[in-house]
Structure 1
Amino acid sequence: MLKLRHTLFTLFFLAIVFGHAQAFEKMRNNIDSVVSNAIQAQAFPGCVVLASKDDSVFFIRSYGYHTYDSMRRVAVNDIYDLASVTKVVGGTLAVMKLYENGYFNLDDPIGEYVDKLGKVGDVTFREALAHQGGLYPWIPYYKEIKKKNGKFKNNTISATRDSEYNFALSDSLFLHKDFYNRIKNMIRKSKVSDQKKYRYSGLFFYLIPELVENLTDTTFNDYLSHNFFRPMNAKTLTFNPLDSFSTHQIVPTEIDTFFRMQPIHGMVHDEGAIMMKGVSGNAGLFSNAEDLSKIFRMLLNEGEVDTLRLLSKQTIRLFTSTQYPNNDNRRGLGFDKPLLEYDSIASSVAKDVGFDSYGHTGYTGTLAWADPEEDMVFIFLTNRVFPSRTYRSIYQLNVRPTIHQFFYDYLKEIESKE
């Protein structure tokens, strides 16, 4: 009798294992098919897909090539430009730590901590982080500093490098050492709407490095590294990756034909971030998939990494919660959230994401998302802007939400077999 029970248990266990393997193969084949079709449609030349659950990565796979010339295959540890994912893993993380340490209240005006902002300074931290403050969406800084004859204004950009113009934007453009003051002045002069309703804006995130330095006497980069990236051993999560990594490991973005007039490879794609010397709270961070997932795993683990506590669970819950749902605003503080009413065309994430889930997209095609209900992290890294930002098939094909949904389908299938 005992032997029969043991045999039945073994068969049951093998059935579960076999069922899991079948479900995993089905999911992998579905993802392979979607990505293959997307590459053929020139949605992007390649990508890395990662999913983790309960502290374990259960799917990580690379596809395609760095560019359409098919010279260098994408590897799972390749480094991508995160674009606006920087807003949450850079700018918002820093603000979370400052808030937790008591440097300000969320309903304080920004202008109490960053001076010379005019009407922009009247917007509160809560409003700015939730895109509810009426701030102007974006400023094309590189256009605003040009004269009518097409030449750059004094003390902005030079064609030659010297002690005043000491940061290379490209092989032939060099930024003035005090250019941030120009950016700040343009933000100050930007229009602030009197209507307090949802309008996505990156302007506040350009000010976060100054905010951090004003309050802590520490650079933004050092503050993030000390409080988050080094404790997590997230070595590829960095600004200006060419300081530490070769171009072989960094995936290129756009072939710039309107400003820098050269391929962008290892330098941040965002024009505003590069004019902040590659370091901003709006864009600028690069990472591989695994290191990026560590940030969201820390958040799902209520701020803990091994025996270290980097943030409190109360702070994480606050910042990842919708702030103005009664104003048709789904956003948390810095973090994006699921649409208040799901729309398969407009959504960047799966239909089955939990309402408490959160993350962010990036202009280069990136996406990072965490779902506390499933304890799942989803990372999608790509360079859809290669060779040009006009390539938009990633959206038309719904690549990211489709792949994201496959992971939910897989989890439901294996749960049904247990």
Structure 2
Amino acid sequence: MARPPGPRFSMSLIVKIVTAVGLAAAAIWSASSVPVPAPAPALAPWGPSEASAEVLADSLALDVLIGQVVGAPDDATGLDRAIAEGRVGRIVVSPRRVDAHLARLRDWQARAPLPLSLATQAEQVALDGPLTASTAGLAAAARPDLAFMTGRARAESARDLGIQTPGSGLRLGADETSERPVEQALVRGLREGQTLPVVTLAAAADLDAFDTLAEAGLMEVHVDASTPSGAALVGQVAQRGSYRGLVVADLGRSAAGAVAALRDGADLVVSSTPSAAYDSLSHALRTGRLAAERVREASRRILAAKAWSGLELVTPEPRGGGDGSTRSLRIDPLRAPSASLLHRTQLLTAEIARASVAVVQTEEGPLPLVGPRPRRVFTVVLDPGASVERALPFVNTLATGLGPGSSASYARLGLGQDEAHYREALDATRDADVVVIAAFPDADGRLAARHQAVLGSLPTRLPTVMVAFDDGALAAGMRRPDALLVANGTSEMAQTAAAQAIAGQIPVSGRLTRPVAGLAATGDGVRLAQQVLRPGSPEEAGIAAGAAARIDDVMQRAVSSGAFPGGAIAVGRSGVLLALQGYGRLTAGGARVTPDTPYDLASLTKVVGTTATAMRMVEDGRLDLDAEVVETLPRFRTMGKEYVTTRQLLSHSAGQRPWYPFHAHDIASREEALDFIYADTLRYPPGTRSRYSDFDMIVLGEMMTTITREPLGDLFDDEIFEPLGMTATGFRGVGVRDPEAAPTETDATWRGRTLQGEVHDEAASVFGGEAGHAGLFSTAADMARFGFMLANGGQANGTRIFRRTTLERFTERVRLRSTYPTGLGWMVNYGDTSAGSAFGPRSFGHTGFTGTSIWVDPDQELFVVLLTNRVHPSRRNTRIREVRPALADAVAGAIQTPPREPARAWGFGPVPTDLPGVAVR
């Protein structure tokens, strides 16, 4: 949509208005004897705007220029008249809704003789406009890159809304450190967004810290000049050699001090009585107490800043008979922030909310609440507000984020509730394993006295997590909690981030920005790794938003074309679960597929169970890759197999046959099948080539059960599934139907039934449904947990399943002549694979005959899981071959940023690599 045209201001009209009074006044002022003005600060680097501003300023009468150096808040006395008469050049606006904000700005600018510059002290320009992170949140996150982007986001919103000086939230007081990388980055972002970054100085401000921000590109400084100490600071800042921007003196409700402030070097004086400030300056000029050149110099700087920030000096269209040589100011067109800006800013602010969560606890602290053991978590919400729904984002996110088997409940304690309700809530904590206190501040920013009493009544035997929203000081004075979590603000984003941190769904790296008496010091905060996936959008994972639609299209086309009756997917990157969804139905006309629908994994058993467990056993020494199989299974010695090693089983290079139809040869039991395998002859010399073999993985499974003396199902549970919380994954018995599982083939020749919830693979069925090559069932939800563990380097849910080096060792390509590229147990992405064309060269995965697959790109922290029943009703359907790479490409082909840096794609960069604290990539 085209922007509406901005108003234009003709210099010829301005000159006609001011000439009569202006020339006469100029003659009087120029003849006056005036004090020598204080040295003005050097012009800021306004670029070409400097020369244009000087030409314009020199062409205007002093009474017009006085108006340029006077500012006023939007509730100032007589503001409308002051605007119309040109007695004010800057308005400090308070937030309103976008429509009301734009309406009054257009009205003001239409009536002003010269364009007004607009500023705001609030960090949000409009109440329903883009909401950026607070400066406190940026400080807690300690991420200069995100601070720079926040500056750019604020600037983009401000420019749309006609604001040249958006609120930065930066304020310097005493005892400030001069090392301020986050604040420097914010200043840089605001400036590169073509707005004027501003800082407010307290009377006792540390000017060394100020110098640091000045070097970063600070363009405005606000000083409270209504007090003697503040007034003295005006001159100090104006003469500060490091600073070249505007000096703004805030006079409060008085006009007194305007002359002194301007004389001391201020460029702009802000008063709630702007006409009085204007008259004071005018009188000082006439009486010789203020130099005309000081006003001209200040106004030149103001005009240069206006032009630089979007109120551009341009040559107007010639008017009737004119030569077009006069100049005017054009206002950047005003508009409501776009839906895109709102969305991108929301993504950025949520990212900062997560990054700013700070946790203080010992190494043995309870957070995050992850692991295989189910927990009962009870939350006590201390909320002084009137809304009973205020804390719902926190309690709901926590309830859904805890692991399988865990439960979460809560009680809200409002200030108006009776004592019986309080006692009931405290009694309920005694049945919990963990108590969470979620404390919200009252109107004064404190913990209400009644709520303070609750903290002293908590059971002492239970682990307690104190969550302080907005200010860690809410926990001051309480018995030391087992963990203190501080979230910046009380917004839905802050609450969600706090709950996700408790549940292990996000990494924690924030720092306290102020001390908590008796509990923590400024800068405290532990680092906690992410342990479980968190649901999110593709953009939160650095993947294009359109990927979601492309994934849907691939899956819906596959179902409609008959590639399979239904399927479920799990897609994750950088700890974000960006897709977990079912498509189609179990059968034509049957129940809908969900992420919790059980699927026969078929040969995914080889990696999800057998290989993953082998990796753990190799790592801890229970299994030796280069040991001969016969050392564990003496019966394997016959027919030249005595020198076959564990490594050769895993790399499918042991020389065994690929498979055998036991059921067609009257082999009906596990022992009979093993007798056949052990007595079978080799098909080629071991270690000379690689040929995919079910036999290899069956033998490996038998080795592991012999070593551990555990059935294979129990072994997989103990080593992999239980630690990861994969409660729906495991082997199933033969001959037992599960109506909730996705059916596979209708077996008319051997079993005489449609297989639903029992293993499809005939050999695995002979083994009783439990073998090293096939037989496992799982869901997309469980496979997401497994995929995250792999993409996360072998660690998840509070447990390291195996080391990253072990994972790399097993997924490195084995260089043997082969039918397909393999590692140890894993398929690797070399040549033409079902991983498509966009997965990286170190990617690994596997497929299953029933229509299943998993692919992992460790360099992108990416996994894609596909579960289908493509063999229903018949295995002759092979259209899955086109679906697997198409799905992989829909995801991997849409990657936009490096892992865990999604903000790079949100349109607020690029981030300068010379910012302090920003890593160069």
Q: TM-score range by the shorter chain?
A: 0.7 to 0.9
1:380 equivalent to 2:527? Answer no
The residue that corresponds to 1:30 in the other structure is 550
The residue that corresponds to 2:713 in the other structure is 221
Task: Return the alpha-carbon distance in structure 2 between the equivalents of residues 408 and 200 of structure 1.
Answer: 27
Contact 1:197–1:329 (Cα < 8 Å) also in 2 = no
The residue that corresponds to 2:849 in the other structure is 363
The residue that corresponds to 1:85 in the other structure is 604
Contact 1:209–1:219 (Cα < 8 Å) also in 2 = no
The residue that corresponds to 1:411 in the other structure is 895
Change (3 A) 1:186 1:328: closer
Amino acid at match of 1:79: P
Task: Return the alpha-carbon distance in structure 2 between the equivalents of residues 199 and 367 of structure 1.
Answer: 19
Task: Return the alpha-carbon distance in structure 2 between the equivalents of residues 30 and 264 of structure 1.
Answer: 32
Task: Map 1:304-315; keep pairs closer than 5 Å.
Answer: 304-315=795-806
Amino acid at match of 1:404: A
Amino acid at match of 2:633: V
Pairwise CA distance, 1:42: 1.6
Pairwise CA distance, 1:181: 2.0
Contact 1:241–1:286 (Cα < 8 Å) also in 2 = no
Pairwise CA distance, 1:296: 2.6
The residue that corresponds to 1:393 in the other structure is 879
Pairwise CA distance, 1:270: 0.4
Deviations 1:43-83 (A, max 9, x none): 10011121011222111221111012x12111121110000
1:98 equivalent to 2:98? Answer no
Deviations 1:290-327 (A, max 9, x none): 21121232223232223322212222221111122677
Task: Return the alpha-carbon distance in structure 1 between the equivalents of residues 628 and 119 of structure 2.
Answer: 72
* Counterpart selection for 1:129 from 650, 655, 659: 650
Contact 1:242–1:267 (Cα < 8 Å) also in 2 = yes
* Counterpart selection for 1:46 from 566, 574, 579: 566
The residue that corresponds to 1:148 in the other structure is none
The residue that corresponds to 1:176 in the other structure is none
Contact 2:538–2:545 (Cα < 8 Å) also in 1 = yes
Task: Map 1:237-386; keep pairs closer than 5 Å.
Answer: 237-240=729-732, 247-324=738-815, 330-339=821-830, 341=831, 343=832, 347-386=833-872
Contact 2:697–2:773 (Cα < 8 Å) also in 1 = yes
SS at match of 1:404: helix
Pairwise CA distance, 1:364: 0.4
Amino acid at match of 2:658: P
* Counterpart selection for 1:61 from 550, 559, 581: 581
Unaligned runs of 5+ in 2: 1-117, 126-150, 158-336, 348-536, 908-921
Pairwise CA distance, 1:15: 5.8
Task: Return the alpha-carbon distance in structure 1 between the equivalents of residues 119 and 658 of structure 2.
Answer: 70
Amino acid at match of 1:372: P
Pairwise CA distance, 1:193: 2.8
Task: Return the alpha-carbon distance in structure 2 between the equivalents of residues 73 and 266 of structure 1.
Answer: 16
Pairwise CA distance, 1:183: 0.9
Task: Return the alpha-carbon distance in structure 2 between the equivalents of residues 326 and 190 of structure 1.
Answer: 23
Moved more, 359-368 or 212-221: 212-221
1:207 equivalent to 2:699? Answer yes
TM-score by length of 2: 0.39
Amino acid at match of 2:665: E
SS at match of 2:719: helix
Task: Return the alpha-carbon distance in structure 1 between the equivalents of residues 557 and 799 of structure 2.
Answer: 43
Change (3 A) 1:56 1:261: same
Pairwise CA distance, 1:137: 0.7
Change (3 A) 1:7 1:216: closer
The residue that corresponds to 2:344 in the other structure is 16
Change (3 A) 1:45 1:199: same
1:185 equivalent to 2:675? Answer yes
The residue that corresponds to 2:69 in the other structure is none
The residue that corresponds to 1:143 in the other structure is 664
TM-score by length of 1: 0.83
Change (3 A) 1:65 1:376: same
SS at match of 1:412: coil
Task: Return the alpha-carbon distance in structure 2 between the equivalents of residues 382 and 194 of structure 1.
Answer: 34
Unaligned runs of 5+ in 1: 146-155, 158-178
Task: Return the alpha-carbon distance in structure 2 between the equivalents of residues 354 and 241 of structure 1.
Answer: 38
The residue that corresponds to 2:23 in the other structure is none
Change (3 A) 1:334 1:391: same
Contact 1:239–1:278 (Cα < 8 Å) also in 2 = yes
Task: Return the alpha-carbon distance in structure 2 between the equivalents of residues 329 and 33 of structure 1.
Answer: 29
Amino acid at match of 1:198: S
Change (3 A) 1:18 1:350: farther
The residue that corresponds to 1:167 in the other structure is none
Deviations 1:370-399 (A, max 9, x none): 11111011110000000010111222xx11
Contact 1:302–1:313 (Cα < 8 Å) also in 2 = yes
Amino acid at match of 1:201: S
The residue that corresponds to 1:172 in the other structure is none
Q: Who wins on radius of gyration, i.e. which is larger? A: 2
Change (3 A) 1:360 1:2: farther
Task: Return the alpha-carbon distance in structure 2 between the equivalents of residues 362 and 102 of structure 1.
Answer: 29
SS at match of 1:230: helix
Pairwise CA distance, 1:102: 1.4
Change (3 A) 1:402 1:268: same
Task: Return the alpha-carbon distance in structure 2 between the equivalents of residues 328 and 74 of structure 1.
Answer: 34
Q: Over the residues paired in the alignment, what is the CA RMSD in angstroms?
A: 2.7
